[in-house]
Structure 1
Amino acid sequence: AEGKSPDNAVGCKLLFYSYGRNTGICYYDDAKLEEIDKEAELKKELERIPEYKLAAEGHPRLYFSSKDIERLKNSGFHPAEELLTKDNFSSGYISGKQVTYELPPKELHIKEPPEGFVGNYPYWTSMSRTIQTHIESLALSYLITGKEKYAQRVKEYLFALSKWSTWCEYPEGEAYGGISLAICHLTFGMAFGYDVIYGFLDKSERKQIGEDLMKLGLGPIYNDGFKENETNLPALQFSALGIGGLVFLNEFPEAKVYVDLAKKYTGYYFERRLNSKNTEGLLYTDYAMQNLLMFADVLNRVTGDNSLLDHQYTKEVLPLWVIYFLTPGGSGRVPFSDDPGGGGYGLIMKIINNYFNNGYAGWFLNKTGQDKSKGFLDVIYFNPKRKITSPDNLPTAKLFENIGWVSLRSDWSDTATFLAFQCSSSELGHNHYDQNNFVLNIAGEWLITDPGYIDYRPGPTNIFTLQSVGHNTILIDGEGQNKLGNSQVKEFFHSHYYDYVAGDASKSYSSEKLNKFLRHIVYLRPDYFLIFDQLVSPKPAKFEWLLHASNSGKTNRENNVISIKKRKSELNVFVLQPEEANIEITKYPGAEQYGPYAVVSNSAEKEEVNFLSLLYGRPLSKETNLIELASYPVFDSSGQEYKVVGVEGENGLFYRGQSKGDYLTFEITVSKVGDYEITSGFFKSPAYGTVHLSIDGKKIGNPYDGYAEEVGLSEGINSGKTYLSEGKHYFRYEIIDKNPNSGNYFVGIRYIELKSIGEKEEKAPDKTLKVKSLKDKGIIGAEITDENGLERIIFNISSEKNNLMNCQEQSFSGKNSFIGLSLNNEIKKYGLFRGNVLRYNEKTLFSSKEECCVSLGWEKKLAKGTIKLVKEEEIEIYLPNLKKLLINNQEIDYQKSYNPQSGILRLKLKEGTHQLLAELG
């Protein structure tokens, strides 16, 4: 660790901080404190590092050059007129605390933490981000309009910041040597302001701003030194260091040293994301990567060095990770680790789309509505001709092996079913005690939820959001996991009809409580998930299987079925094992705002328990007039920043209103003329204003006051009835005031619902469904009967995986198998995982010498399958009435190896995974 001591320091105390609870005893044998001569170190670096050649001379140079001004003028950016005279702003913090800051910014240190918080509270993080945004908006206004009043206001901000004694909120007490998020945000803002108004400043003013930025921002960040630390804070530090260095390149000698150190860290971080077991989740990876990727982009623009931008992680892995964990319809993302589950990745995907011409990134931006955003960076990376490629050609399941995340979805449509599973080895600070956790989303609605971001205030909400009790995992005698990470996805197989994943979270628990926790998930696409848990304790115990929902739906239990119903979708969970299970629906005392959850437990204490449940969910209606604004484009606004955010598992659009009169407008097309009842769903917050809805210029209903002491969800706010003609209509939410207790004029809107009065809603037909548990010696499974036939899934739980296991007419050797029968009891699909034989009614469906994975099925005379072999060999598969065969998109002559009477096809295939496509007669 490196750090700078205060000038009057006489000694040093080392504090070893542990994020989680203590486990065992740690002994430290020695500690060494050495003084580093930073001036000598800097001198060596100045001699070692060659001068950079500039690809773009002069200023502006960072995010654009003078040749980009016309493009920026066409981006739809609104000049920040209101910031010219704004003399203060307020920021809201936890427990409803509000702080007002003067403008141009004055140094203000606040000693008292908000109620319920212990220690140094980071007030300046929000404050510095707002100041950065002000500088960016004013500078961009100057660039686009050419009006010097904006440049003058930027200059006032820059010289005001130059007068501060420090940009560190707690310079003698912060972690990371006094380097906080605030110093980074102020460095970003000052560097950008200097770059844009460079020509407006005289030589002495440039020199003064440069020296002050070195003293207050770049110097302290550089002196903090290089760290092999893969969290988001160093990512922000080194991005600020690099971009600040690039703005002064060839103007101040130290600049090249700053750029070089930023390059070193960025390369390290990209490599770690490619190979490391650790992840901070989607939220903090977005925060880290958007800053580092922005530095990589600016480095390329200023110097022509594209080595960072061309990294494999940026080019191949990151965009797929983001897409695979996007919810159907694009309104949110999976809230694993500290993450409220809303928005983000707009900047990253814009850079990837622009630089690599990556169409998947373009699809993401279009789907989430972020291609229409008008914030500062949205304007900078504005591209009216984005390449858009639908992910329909991508597999519908994917394992991200190094971090232990799995995505399973029915398809890529807006009404898809989507399950995300986590079984990770990551031990970073923003992770939770939640291994073998899963969440489920249908048609953009979370039915099985995760609390998302930790509530860091001590008490029940902290326990619920951090510990296992708030997640969809297992408790033993009321206790959950006591180690972060320590888990691993052991198995993964994907095919058109059948997916299988298995996670081992045994080591996440105390060995005194648990010896074994294997969670198996089988997905029979598109309708059914079977969740099978194997649990072993060293002594008889009560095991609790947890399933969480949110307050925005209805959660009930009838016999062994748990039902969750929301506005657009519903889920039924059939509890199949243990046979005499206790099932209750409850809420966690003191954390009721996170919603109800089901607890399934064994009725008598045992050392070994198996849980088995079938999940069946579906959209409720074929057509809906419910418009999710998180993924809906904004037609017009008063020009303030807007972005997607999440609260309590619900996503919506946040608008950073600054004053009365700020507004958002949505263009909504009505397909049928008639009377409609209009309902809006909002967020509540200590910093929200009062809004009034108007349609086509006419106000309807009553204003909505968004103020509340705690962040949360509103009930549906009914604006009354109105007549709408067929065609386009304009729904405008205007900020008309704010509650006296509110700290700002912000607004958060989740949805607009147009309910046609007198028209009966078209609902999806009810499904005839029978589910039963199957259990015998060495096997456990489920049988599902619906209007399409029968599907049966069997797990081998014996110690001998090579033995032939039998269940009714189905027999197999391997870890698990499934069959699907038509209403006429004819085979229509089957699968086998890590086995070598599968039979039904004495008919061989698959056989091999070695252990294999196979899934094959057919409908409308088209067969699709996946075969995975551990070594080259000849296998036999059942494929009736074969007419044409393709393996890995190559047509195969099968006549000599196919028996039309038995339907058995012999295939010799190499080691690896093979895709089969066949036409049947």
Structure 2
Amino acid sequence: MYTDSNIANLKQQIKVDNDIKNSWEKQLKHADELVLKDRFKADNCQVLGLAYRMTGDEKYAKTIKKILIDYTSKDTWEGANLLNRTPAWKGGLNTSHTSFFVSIGFDCIYNYLTKKERKDIAENLVRVGIQPALDDWLLPNSNFHTFDTMGHNWWSACVYMAGFSSLAIRNEVPDAKNWVNDVAQTATEFVNYSGSVLQNKPPTFDQDGGFYESINYASYGISQYLLFRFALQSALPNTKQVDLPILDKIGDFFIQTTYYVEEGKPMSVNFGDSFINKTGNACLTLLWQLGYKKNDYAWYINQTSAGNDKEGLQLDTPNGLVLHPKLPEIASNYAPKLATSHLFKDMGGWATMRNSWDKNATMLAVKSGFTWNHTHADAGSYILFHNGKNLIIDSGNASYGNPLYTQYYCQSEAHNVVLFNGEGQNRKDPYFGVANPPGSLHNLIEGDNFKYILANATGPYAQTLARNYRNFIWVGDVILVIDDLLAHKPGKFEWLLHYNGESKRKDLDLSIKDGDAEVIVNSLYPETFPEGGLPHDFPEQMRLEEKLGYEDHHPENRSKYWSISHFEETARTKFISAITLKTEENKENLPVIKRFEGKDFLGVSITQNGEATEVYFNLLADGRLKHRNSVINMNGWETDAYLTVLKFKTDADKTKINNVDEMFIGHGSYLRRDNQVLMHSLSKYTALVEGFSATPKVVYQGQENATVSCIALRRHRHLK
């Protein structure tokens, strides 16, 4: 890592970039302070190694030498917690981390050490660092771990850091090159691990580059392999590395799951055991160094390079400084060449949807997938970023040793889900995994001003619910959350809402506000909040109850959240809620949202920006009919669709099909009015037609090779 070329590149950047110059000066100051101390940690090798390679001052090398001799003379780098297991875990994460730090120190002062010192340190590094990891994780005659032991990141960290260290001592230990080769060849199997049906464990990677364990552990686990791959490329450039197509996609995963802000640090989708400011900076920096050079990556590295994440490669870290690439000039208004919405369906159901790539835009993230290890009991949950703030939040996590980590943070009540009689997923799911089919996401549809996705959380809730579907419809500045719920017996449903900032209700509106960012939440079905008066006077309306949870990473602090419920105990219900995104442009003229309903359907109308949108929810399509189709007439619109959305000009006659500007059909086969067919197929599909009365654009998801007719496409022209 601290190669001559990287050091030369850093020295050149210091001359022309004040941020890098300032970061280097901080690192040098830290190194100068360290050499005056009597006791050191293994990770001090990083900043001391940088100082020595940049200045040549032997006081830094002398201190590193002390650290190397001290640490490699120990009997083990693991604690009693792992060593007391049966069999003993001798090569865990402490060994992995220490091997990495010691190897950096050894490499940085290689020429300062005598030949005997190199030999002694190298052999002891094998004894206490490399061999325990290989024995536990890789070698056929001794290993007892697999790709999914302790989740999916441990294998990467333990094995690839053993390979990294083997590269450092390859001149002193004859077997080291063989170990490097053995470690390198495992990468294909690691990234293609397909999961375990019997033990409820998912594949390591989504086909689009996602890593299910969280952004935190995606960054950690992936970067450990990339560090090894980069070190192998640097040390043995003629070695042919294994071809991993997934490396072309990993960077996009981090770009899609990061939220970009005008002020402060970027935020990320913090589902599971993560941190709100965790990013993929380390992974994209290493990918760039490995030759995966895209303008999108340069843009992302620029967005995320500030900081000092101990496992990242930001500029305020020694490794981040020395590996910071010389990037091309990127325009200030550059936007990634990616869709603004993406579904990672293979990693257990993650999706992100945003209205633009601008800083302080709005981003909705939804999860409905696996629960196990670093993923929580949060099937169907979502979070919302708006105007630079994370307003609707995930409760986060705490130290794994804190009882509240298991009792609260991992459990359903810490997330934006529906509870039934106070219960969510099985409370043992975070340890044992979901034995029923895991949650899933389906039918991501994105138009110019319309987005839709369906979350299926039925499997994880199977002990209490027979149906748990959550639909998100995003139209303009309004997001509808539509919950389709059926329990095995009558009981009380609760709709949970975790938030940052301040929240209070005024009549029908529940405000969530943090600084300049604000959203308004309205309950629409089964009832609204009371409009005026006291809740006691309106028992038939929705009830709003304040509850106490725990703050993200600070279990010593309580945090407020909302429970929204209805007085009526029932087995079947529909929660429909609207989230209005308050902006500088609409704050004086917010969208107007109204309820309407009829026989066997619920409706919502949204009027904004000169447009009127009507949303129809066909109750006959909620699973109550099996051997008959869910045919219905809703205000003159004939269909079997589960959801129907129609958009018109505000002053248009909404009974005339020629006035339809936009049409969405969610799980339906036809839509008709006045003996005219707007869209038809013999199988059900989900589709969006924009520019219905002008130049139509169709987004279609349904049966392959289906024949679909659409009046907007000149009536009898067909889609195949």
Band the TM-score falls in, shorter-chain normalisation: 0.7 to 0.9
Q: Does 1:412 align with 2:357?
A: yes
Question: C-alpha separation between the residues in 1 aligned to 2:239 and 2:662?
Answer: 49
Residue 455 of structure 2 corresponds to residue 503 of structure 1: yes
Encode CA deviations 1:213-251: one digit per residue, 9 max, x unaligned: 111111211221333233222221112100011112253
* Displacement after TM superposition at 1:264 (Å): 4.3
Q: CA deviation at 1:359?
A: 2.1
- Pair 1:172 & 2:89 matched: no
Secondary structure of 1:515's aligned partner: strand
Tell me the equivalent position of 1:727: none
Match of 1:657 in 2: none
- 1:908 equivalent in structure 2: 718
Secondary structure of 2:395's partner?
A: coil
Residue in 2 that maps onto 1:229? 147
Please tell me whether the aligned partners of residues 439 and 460 of structure 2 are also in contact (alpha carbons under 8 angstroms): no
Q: What's the counterpart of residue 851 of structure 1?
A: 684
User: Residues 328 and 859 (structure 1 numbering): CA distance in 2 closer, same or farther, change over 3 Å?
Assistant: farther
Deviation of the 1:607 alpha carbon:
1.4
1:352 aligns with 2:287: yes
| Aligned partners of 2:394 and 2:415 also within 8 Å | yes
1:789 aligns with 2:585: no
1:421 aligns with 2:366: yes
8 Å CA contact retained: 1:278, 1:428? no
Cα gap change, 1:373 to 1:172, in 2 (>3 Å): closer
2:490 partner amino acid: P
* Residue matched to 2:309: none
Give 2:324's match in structure 1, choosing from 382, 393, 408: 382
- Paired residue for 2:509, among 561, 565, 589? 561
CA 1:334–1:827: 2 relative to 1, 3 Å: same
Whole-Å separation in 2 of the counterparts to 1:309 and 1:143: 31
Name the structure with the higher helix share. Answer: 2
Rate the CA distance shift 1:841–1:616 in 2: closer, same or farther, 3 A: farther
In the TM superposition, residue 844 of structure 1 has moved relative to its aligned partner by 3.9
Q: Separation in 1 of the partners of 2:487 and 2:70? A: 63
How much is the aligned-residue C-alpha RMSD, in angstroms?
Answer: 2.9
**Any conservation in 2 of the 1:791–1:821 contact (CA below 8 Å)?**
yes
Q: Give the letter for the 1:340 counterpart.
A: F
The structure-2 alpha-carbon separation of the partners of 1:461 and 1:165, relative to structure 1 and needing over 3 Å to count, comes to: closer
Give the 3 Å change call, closer, same or farther, for CA 271–306 of structure 1 in structure 2. Answer: farther
Per-residue CA deviation, residues 105-136 of structure 1 (Å, 9 max, x unaligned), is 3xxxxxxxxxxxxxxxxxxxxxxxxx343211
Q: 2:668 aligns with which of 826, 835, 853?
A: 835
Q: Pairwise mapping of residues 54-453 of structure 1 onto structure 2 (< 5 A)?
A: 63=1, 65-76=3-14, 77-78=24-25, 80-86=28-34, 103-105=38-40, 131-170=41-80, 172-173=83-84, 177-226=89-138, 227-230=145-148, 231-272=152-193, 273-275=204-206, 279-304=212-237, 310-316=243-249, 318-329=250-261, 331-354=266-289, 355-370=291-306, 373-386=315-328, 390-403=334-347, 404-424=349-369, 426-453=370-397
User: Deviation string for 1:513-563 (max 9, x for gaps)?
Assistant: 322211122222x3222111122222211111101112xx21012334321
Partner secondary structure for residue 471 of structure 2: strand
Q: Sequence identity of aligned pairs in percent?
A: 22
Structure 1 CA distance, aligned partners of 2:477 and 2:409? 30
Q: How far apart, in 1, do the equivalents of 2:700 and 2:302 lie?
A: 35
Q: Secondary structure at the match of 2:320?
A: helix
Hey, what's the Cα distance between the residues in 1 that align with 2:85 and 2:71? 20
Matched AA of 2:601: I
1:679 corresponds in structure 2 to none
Once the two structures are overlaid, the 10-residue window that deviates more, 830-839 or 531-540, is 830-839
Q: State the distance in 2 between where 1:160 and 1:598 align.
A: 53
Q: Is the 8 A contact 1:585 1:596 kept in 2?
A: no
Q: Distance in 2 between matches of 1:216 and 1:207?
A: 14
Checking the alignment, whether the CA contact within 8 Å between 1:104 and 1:156 is kept in structure 2 is no
| Counterpart residue number, 1:59 | none
Say which of 577, 583, 608 aligns to 2:543.
Answer: 583
The equivalences for 1:660-675 within 5 A come to none
User: Quick one: distance in 2 between partners of 1:874 and 1:832?
Assistant: 16
Cα offset, 1:842, TM superposition: 5.9
Which 10-residue stretch deviates more, 529-538 or 457-466? 457-466
The letter of the residue matching 1:806 is N
Pair 504,854 (structure 1): closer, same or farther in 2 beyond 3 Å: closer
| Residue equivalent to 1:716 | none
Matched position secondary structure for 1:80: helix
Indicate if the aligned counterparts of 1:875 and 1:906 stay in contact, CA closer than 8 A.
Answer: no
Q: Relative to structure 2, which stretch is displaced further, 434-443 or 274-283?
A: 274-283
Identify unmatched segments of 5+ residues in structure 2: 15-23, 139-144, 194-203, 307-312, 528-539, 653-658
| Distance in 2 (alpha carbons) for counterparts of 1:594 and 1:862 | 53
Q: Give matches, 1:873-884, under 5 Å.
A: 875-879=708-712
- What CA distance in whole angstroms lies between the structure 1 residues aligned with 2:685 and 2:465? 31
User: CA 1:814–1:307 in 2, change beyond 3 Å: closer, same or farther?
Assistant: farther
Contact 2:478 2:591 in 1 (8 A): no
The residue that corresponds to 2:634 in the other structure is: 807
SS where residue 274 of structure 1 aligns?
coil
Counterpart contact for 1:782–1:793, Cα < 8 Å = yes
**Are residues 565 and 818 of structure 1, via their aligned partners in 2, closer, same or farther at CA, if it must alter by over 3 Å?**
same
Rounded Cα–Cα distance in structure 1 between residues aligned with 2:271 and 2:596:
33
Match of 1:609 in 2: 573
Please say which of residues 266-275 and 196-205 is displaced more in the overlay: 266-275
Change (3 A) 1:811 1:465: same
| 2:479 and 2:578 in contact (8 A); partners too | yes
Query: In the alignment, does 2:601 pair up with 1:779?
Result: yes
- Displacement of 1:208 after TM fit? 1.0
Give the alignment's TM-score, normalised by structure 2. Answer: 0.82
Shift in CA distance, 840/569, structure 1 to aligned 2, threshold 3 Å: farther
Task: Report the Cα distance in structure 2 between the residues aligned to 1:827 and 1:505, rounded to whole angstroms.
Answer: 33
Give 3-state SS (helix, strand or coil) of 1:188's partner: helix
Query: Is this contact kept in 2: 1:498–1:522, CA < 8 A?
Result: yes
Contact 2:371 2:438 in 1 (8 A): no
The offset of 1:290, in angstroms, is: 0.9
List runs of 5+ in structure 1 lacking aligned partners: 1-62, 89-101, 106-130, 623-763, 880-897, 899-903, 911-921
Say if 2:137 and 2:159, in contact at 8 Å, map to a contact too.
no
Spell out the pairing of 1:601-750 with structure 2 (5 A cutoff): 601-619=565-583, 621=584
> In 2 relative to 1, CA 188–592 (structure 1 residues): closer, same or farther, beyond 3 Å?
closer
Asked if residue 867 in structure 1 is aligned to residue 700 in structure 2, the reply is: yes
Q: Per-residue displacement from partner, 1:743-762 (whole Å, max 9, x unpaired)?
A: xxxxxxxxxxxxxxxxxxxx
Q: Secondary structure at the match of 1:199?
A: coil
Deviation of residue 439 (structure 1)? Answer: 0.6
Greater Cα shift, 800-809 or 601-610: 800-809
> 2:535 — aligned with what?
none
Alignment partner, residue 687 of structure 1? none
Pairwise CA distance, 1:861: 6.7
Contact in 1 for aligned 2:43/2:98 (Cα 8 Å): no
Asked if structure 1 preserves the Cα contact closer than 8 Å seen for 2:592 and 2:607, the reply is: yes
State the AA in 1 paired with 2:236: T
Q: Distance in 1 between matches of 2:600 and 2:61?
A: 77
Cross-structure match for 2:468: 517
**What number of residue pairs does the alignment pair up?**
639
